[in-house]
Amino acid sequence: MTMYKEFHRRSIDKRDEFWAEQAGLIDWNKPAEQICDFSNPPFVKWFKGGETNLCFNAVDRHAAQRPNDRALVYISTETDEEKVYTFAELQREVERMAAIYQDLGVRKGDRVLIYMPMIAEAAFAMLACARIGAIHSVVFGGFAAGSLATRIDDAKPVLMVSSDAGMRNGKPVPYKHLVDEACKLAEFPPQKVLIVDRGLDKGFPKVAGRDIDYAELRARHMDAKVPVTWLESSEPSYILYTSGTTGKPKGVQRDTGGYAVALAASMKHIFTGDAGETMFSTSDIGWVVGHSYIIYGPLLAGMATVMYEGTPLRPDAGIWWQIVEKYKVTVMFSAPTAVRVLKKQDPAFLKKYDLSSLKHLFLAGEPLDETTHKWIMDELGIPVIDNYWQTETGWPMLSAIRGIEKTPIKYGSPSFPVYGYDLRIFREDGTECGPDEKGIVGVVPPLPPGCLSTVWGQDDRFVSTYFTLFKDPVIFSSSDWGIKDADGYHTILGRMDDVINVAGHRLGTREIEEAIQAHAAIAEVAVVGVADQLKGQMPMAFAVVKDASRVDSAEKRIELEKEVMKTVDNLLGAIARPARVHFISGLPKTRSGKMLRRSIQALAEGRDAGDLTTIDDPSTLEQIRSALAS
C-alpha cells in the first residue's frame, strides 16, 4: 500500500498544502486566508476567512450546470410513492422552503429542529437551513417525546419542522403527537411548528397560532428566489446529538467549510462516487450517516441520492437490490445489522436483479464480523468496505481508500487510518502500542476538516470529554479499543465506556437507566449491553424494586417488566427498550459503592464475572445468575 501510505503521510506532514488542494473540490465565495488555524488547541478552525455555503455546493452549482440530472430519488415502499427531483427541481423546492423559513422569522444562526420521517421534504428542510445559514438539528424519528424535549431545551430552536406521521411496516408512526408532548415537556419550546401533512394521521390536533401547514405556505412561495447566505468557514452548519456516558446527550457541532471539503474529498477518494451516478445509503437522516451520506456528501459530488422510507424486507427481501437495478446505483452504504438481517433471507433475492452498476458496498456503525463480511462480498462479487467512524468525526476515520489505491481487503477489518487523521493506538499510560497490541484508538490533533468543532454551547465539555485521556500527549479519544496488525490493518474491539451499540446506533446505558428509574416502582437499576447475534448488542436491565411485593410472583414480574419497557418507550423511544428487565434485590457493587458493570455484563453474556476481590455482597451475583436462568 505504498501509494496510499504516501498519500496519508502527505496529509499529515504537509497538512496545509494537502487540504488547500482538497478545498478546490468545492466552490468558495471568498477563498480561505489560512488553511488551518490551530492557535487555540484543541480547537481548530479550517479554511479561516473563507466563505462558502453547503447548499450552494450541494444544489445550486449542479443546478446551473446539469439542471435536468437526477438529484433526489424519494422512494417509500410504505406509502407506495416514488418521485425523482432533478437538481433544478431540488433547487426550487429548497428555495420555497427557505422562503417559508424567512416568512416565519428564521434568521442566520437560528436553530431549526427537524423531526421528520424519510421524506423528500426533510431534505428540503435541511438544505434550506444551510441555504440561509440557519443551524439544523435533526432528531431521529424513533426518539420519543422525552428525548426530543431534552434536545429542544439544549438547542432552543425558533422553529420545528415535522410531519403528521411516518410509516413503518405498514403502520403509521405518530410524529406530530410526540412533537406536542415534547413541547409540553420542554422549557424552551419553539414558537412555530411547520407540519408536512401526509394525510397519514387524519385529524391530528393543531395548536392555533403555533402550528403551520407546509402546503399552504409553499403555495404562497412557488416562485421564491432566496439567495444563499455566504458563511465564514467556521460558522456552524448543524448540531447532531449523540449519547455519551452521562444521561445528557452532547450536541456535536459541525462547521461549514471544513465539512464541505471533507465530504467532497471523501466522495472522491473513499466512496469513488462521480457526478451523474447514484448513491443509496440505507440509514436515516436522524443519524450522522444520513447527514453525510444521504444528504450532503452525494449531492456535493453531483450524484443523485436515494431517500428510502421502508424496511429492507418489504415488500420482500429484494427491495434494496431492485432499487439498485432501477437507478443504477454505483455506491451503496449500509450497516452490518442490515446485512445480517438479509443473510437470513432467501439468497435468491440477491441474484434476481442486475447489480452490475454497483462498484462498492460500504458498511459502518458497528463491528463487521468476518463471517458477514465474507458472505456479502461473495454474494455481491464486489469489494465490501468496512469503515469506522463516529458522529463526532462526520466522515470515516478508518477505511480502505479505493480512490487512491486498491488495497486488499481483510475480512473484519476497516483497514487503515484515513488521510487527515493522525490515528494511533495508545496504551493506557499514553505511550503507543506495538503491532497486535490492544489499545485506545486516538487521533493526534488537530482533527481534520469535517470533525466536530465543539459541543454545542459547551466548549469545556468538548475539551473534557474528548481531550483529557492523557495529560501528555493530548489526543482526541475515540473511546474505542482497537488493534493494528503488522500489515497496518486495524480492528475495532468495542467501547471503553458505558456506551452500547444496538444495530449500529449508539445508546448511553446511563440514559436508559435514568428512564427506567422514572418508573415509580424502581429503586435502582443497572443497564448493560449484551452481545446479540443480529443487532450486535442489546440493552439488558437489572433492577431493584422499592417494594418487594411488586415482584413476588412470576405474573407480577412480567407485568412490571412490561411497564418498565413502556416507560423507556415513552421517554426515549422503542429503540432503547431493554431486551429484558430482570428484578433482583441488590446490585453488585464494590465496597466503595461503585457498580460492577463489567461483571454484570460478563454474567449476562455467559462469561466469567472477572475480578471480584472488591465486591461488597457476592450473593448479588448469584441472584443475577438465577434471574438469567429463569
Which residues of the chain form contacts with ligand AMP (CB under 6 A)? 242, 288, 364-368, 386-391, 414, 478, 480, 492, 495, 501, 505-506
Nearest to ligand AMP of 92, 151 (CB atom): 151
Q: In angstroms, what is the minimal distance from the CB of 421 to ligand AMP?
A: 14
| Residue where the block lists cell 411516518 | 166
Q: Which residues contact residue 158 at a Cβ distance below 8 angstroms, ignoring those fewer than 6 apart?
A: 104, 105, 106, 110, 111, 112, 190, 191, 192
Nearest to ligand AMP of 229, 242 (CB atom): 242
The closest alpha carbon to 474, from 447, 507, 499, belongs to 447
- Report the amino acid identity of residue 240: L
Chain centre distance of CA 22:
25
Q: What is the largest CA-CA distance in the chain?
A: 73
Nearest to ligand AMP of 77, 391 (CB atom): 391
Element (H, E) at 377: helix 370-380
Q: In angstroms, what is the minimal distance from the CB of 499 to ligand AMP?
A: 7
Q: In angstroms, what is the minimal distance from the CB of 576 to ligand AMP?
A: 13
Nearest to ligand AMP of 413, 567 (CB atom): 413
CA distances from 84 to 73, 304, 417 (A): 5, 9, 36
Q: In angstroms, what is the minimal distance from the CB of 75 to ligand AMP?
A: 24
Nearest to ligand AMP of 114, 240 (CB atom): 240
Nearest to ligand AMP of 323, 384 (CB atom): 384
Q: In angstroms, what is the minimal distance from the CB of 375 to ligand AMP?
A: 16
Q: In angstroms, what is the minimal distance from the CB of 522 to ligand AMP?
A: 27
Q: In angstroms, what is the minimal distance from the CB of 494 to ligand AMP?
A: 7
CA distances from 629 to 578, 582, 585, 623 (A): 17, 11, 16, 10
Give the residue at shortest CB distance from ligand AMP: 506
The answer for 349, left when phi > 0, alpha when psi is -120 to 50, beta otherwise, is: alpha
Report the distance separating Cα 569 and Cα 516, nearest Å: 10
Nearest to ligand AMP of 51, 480 (CB atom): 480
Nearest to ligand AMP of 229, 390 (CB atom): 390
Report the distance separating Cα 159 and Cα 227, nearest Å: 21
The edge-to-edge listing of strands for the beta sheet with 238-242 is 211-213, 192-196, 159-163, 111-115, 135-138, 238-242, 250-254, 454-455
Q: In angstroms, what is the minimal distance from the CB of 16 to ligand AMP?
A: 28
Nearest to ligand AMP of 246, 322 (CB atom): 246
Nearest to ligand AMP of 349, 395 (CB atom): 395
Report the distance separating Cα 491 and Cα 484, nearest Å: 6
Local structure of residue 613 (DSSP, 8 states): T
Q: In angstroms, what is the minimal distance from the CB of 70 to ligand AMP?
A: 28
- With 0-12 / 13-18 / 19 or more C-beta atoms within 10 angstroms meaning exposed / middle / buried, residue 241 is buried
Q: In angstroms, what is the minimal distance from the CB of 96 to ligand AMP?
A: 32
Chain centre distance of CA 260:
17
Report the distance separating Cα 219 and Cα 402, nearest Å: 46
